[in-house]
């Protein structure tokens, strides 16, 4: 049965190490579209950090979808309609904010409007995230976060500090939230029901597709959920070794246009 839905991560997957779309990837995506394959970007980024890629790949037309915030927000690209939207409560925010202070690492919360931090000395990785996803940073005290529509929160710091903090996170936080590491310096905390996997399954059902007709391409732990649920999980050559254990296929690296290789080898043949 032919593959009709391909969910693709961005960083370390769709773009190369210079954060560019290679000509090979562009052409393969266009060829997939011509054959009726739905290519859907699935990312931890907010929508503001994806607009340019959607334009560059012409994935902004009627019937195109986008998965952002690791599945916390799924939208129809052309209309902006929210298909899935999940938020964190103020109580959730306060728990994670307290945890970050207890562990001694930086933290920020993200809404559709921007990045909010209560760290008076704003962490450099908060600034990095702001630049990466084209969103403003707002300093707000915890009391000022009442009423904010938070999609996800992130513990952020130097890799060695973050790893030490992760080792001390109480088990009950994993029971309450979906917690995934997306880069060596980002730990993402979201509602328990949020994942790229749930978002991909929702879209597949909406499109009337079987699991065998779905593929996901990724490289990091925040891609695990979608790789585990699709019929055709593909991991990048530069991907996490643990993820390669669950892959049906290993494609070339992101600097070798691995997404293009995957599409041509296993979708467009």
> Residue 132: what pLDDT?
87
Same domain, 49 and 142: no
Report, as an integer, the average pLDDT of 182-211. Answer: 94
End position of a domain, from candidates 126, 157, 191: 191
Check which CATH number belongs to the domain holding 247 and give it: 3.40.50.1000
Q: Quick: pLDDT tens for 77-106.
A: 999 999 998 999 999 999 999 999 999 999
What does the mean pLDDT of the chain come to?
95
* pLDDT for residue 267 is more than 90: yes
Q: Which domain holds residue 169?
A: 90-191
Beta bridge partners of 183: 186
Residue 79 tokens, joined: 């209309």
Range of lowest pLDDT (164-168, 178-182, 202-206):
178-182
End position of a domain, from candidates 139, 172, 191: 191
In 100-149, at which residue ranges do the beta strands (DSSP E only) sit? 106-110, 115-117, 137-139
Same domain, 33 and 161: no
Question: Which residue is catalytic, options 9, 64, 157, 219?
Answer: 9
End position of a domain, from candidates 170, 191, 212: 191
- Is 91 a known active-site residue? no
Element spanning 126, H or E = helix 124-133
Report, as an integer, the average pLDDT of 146-155. Answer: 95
Number of structural domains (the chain) is: 2
Q: What's the rounded Cα separation, in Å, for the pair 83 and 53?
A: 20
Say whether 177 sits in a helix, a strand or coil. strand
> Residue 1: what pLDDT?
63
């Amino acid at each position: 049965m032919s593959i009709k839905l391909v969910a693709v991560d961005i960083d370390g997957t769709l773009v190369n190490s210079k954060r560019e779309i290679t000509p090979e990837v562009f052409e393969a995506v266009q060829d997939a579209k011509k054959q009726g394959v739905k290519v859907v970007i699935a990312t931890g980024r907010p929508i503001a950090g994806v607009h340019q890629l959607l334009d560059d790949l012409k994935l902004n037309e009627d019937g195109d979808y986008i998965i952002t915030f690791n599945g916390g927000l799924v939208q129809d690209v052309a209309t902006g309609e929210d298909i899935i939207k999940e938020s964190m409560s103020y109580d959730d925010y306060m728990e994670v904010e307290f945890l970050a202070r207890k562990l001694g690492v930086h933290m920020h919360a993200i809404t559709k409007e921007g990045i909010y931090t209560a760290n008076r000395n704003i962490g450099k990785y908060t600034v990095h995230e702001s630049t990466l996803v084209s969103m403003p940073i707002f300093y707000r005290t915890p009391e000022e976060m009442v009423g904010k529509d938070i999609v996800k929160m992130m513990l952020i710091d130097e890799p060695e500090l973050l790893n030490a903090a992760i080792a001390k996170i109480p088990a009950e936080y994993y029971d309450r939230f979906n917690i995934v590491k997306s880069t060596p310096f980002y730990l993402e905390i979201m509602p328990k029901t949020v994942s790229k996997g749930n978002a991909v399954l929702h879209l597949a059902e909406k499109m009337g597709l079987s699991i065998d007709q779905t593929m996901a391409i990724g490289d990091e732990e925040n891609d695990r959920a979608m790789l585990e649920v699709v019929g055709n999980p593909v991991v990048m050559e530069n991907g996490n070794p643990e993820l390669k254990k669950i892959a049906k296929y290993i494609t070339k690296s992101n600097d070798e246009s691995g997404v293009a290789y995957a599409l041509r080898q296993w979708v467009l043949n």
